[in-house]
Amino acid sequence: MANNRVYLERLQLAVEHLHKCKAVHNATVPVQEVFRGQTVWHGDVEVFDLTGHPKAKRCYAWSHVDGKNDEHERFVAVLEIPPVESPETAVRVQIVKDSKKAAK
């Protein structure tokens, strides 16, 4: 995903809408998650500082294609609340959450 201004603005709006607080982009962190020797996720995680959220001071966000034919864009915004403490743990928590949802 190109790290451009329009993408960051759209992601920022998604974070603010989902978590009902103000978000300011802080950093872009490349993350590669490997499980049993296989890359299960690879991409940039955008770090946002939050103002006005009751529990979290930071949020980790990214988007990816979704849907049967990859026709939709899905925004993911994970709050920095334990066990989430970094971009890497945000990705891991979301992978587990998505895999549980897919198993239902």
What pLDDT, on the 0 to 100 scale, is given for residue 103? 77
What pLDDT, on the 0 to 100 scale, is given for residue 1? 43
What pLDDT, on the 0 to 100 scale, is given for residue 101? 80
**Long-range contacts made by residues 20-28, C-beta under 8 angstroms, separation at least 24?**
20/52, 20/53, 21/50, 21/51, 21/52, 21/53, 22/50, 22/51, 22/52, 23/48, 23/49, 23/50, 23/51, 23/59, 24/48, 24/49, 24/51, 26/58, 28/3
pTM: 0.88
What pLDDT, on the 0 to 100 scale, is given for residue 89? 96
Mean pLDDT, contiguous 10-residue spans, the chain (104 residues): 78 95 96 90 95 97 82 90 96 89 76
